[in-house]
């Protein structure tokens, strides 16, 4: 079974890739301990313990991240513990999130479970 691959998971619910760098998947059942850096959109259905950097990141319902995520657009549908640092962050109703959130734009759907400190990113003047 491949860890990364191309496919069409639900593009309507994923953050748009601002750089056009493609789409990568961390499939269910895969576990990574360490750092991941990927161009374009990274969809996580497996488990990551470490730092994730991409243009856009979606933690799918079965996905789990413990660590840090940094991206221009982040969608959380699964479980996240740690530090989120993003431009546009969307927390879906299925999300379970704890830690800190630093954002430009934050959207939280009803039903999500959140225990976090939220901080709006400061804009340069």
69-112 pLDDT, tens digit each = 999 999 999 999 999 999 999 999 999 999 999 999 999 999 99
pLDDT value at 13 more than 70: no
**H or E element, residue 57:** strand 47-59
CA-based Rg of the chain, rounded to a whole angstrom? 13
pLDDT of residue 4: 41
pLDDT of residue 15: 54
Q: Is 76 helix (H, G, I), strand (E, B) or coil?
A: strand
Q: What percent of the chain has pLDDT over 90?
A: 78
Domain regions of the chain by residue span: 22-120
24 CB-near residues (< 8 Å, 6+ apart): 4, 5, 6, 38, 40, 41, 42, 43, 54
Strands 47-59 and 64-76 turn out to be: parallel
- Select from 89, 81, 99 the least CA-distant residue to 58: 89
Q: What percent of the chain has pLDDT over 70?
A: 82
**pTM (whole model) above 0.85:** no
User: Which residue would you say has higher pLDDT here, 8 or 86?
Assistant: 86
């Amino acid at each position: 079974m491949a860890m990364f691959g191309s496919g069409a998971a639900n593009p309507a619910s994923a953050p748009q890739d601002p750089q056009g760098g493609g789409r990568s998947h961390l499939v269910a059942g895969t576990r990574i301990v360490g750092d991941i850096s990927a161009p374009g959109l990274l969809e996580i259905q497996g488990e990551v313990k470490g730092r994730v950097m991409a243009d856009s990141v979606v933690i799918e319902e079965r996905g789990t991240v413990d660590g840090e995520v940094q991206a221009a657009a982040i969608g959380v549908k699964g479980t996240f513990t740690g530090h989120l640092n993003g431009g546009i962050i969307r927390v879906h109703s299925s999300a379970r999130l704890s830690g800190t959130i630093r954002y430009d734009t934050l959207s939280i759907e009803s039903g999500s479970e959140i225990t976090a400190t939220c901080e709006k990113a400061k804009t340069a003047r």
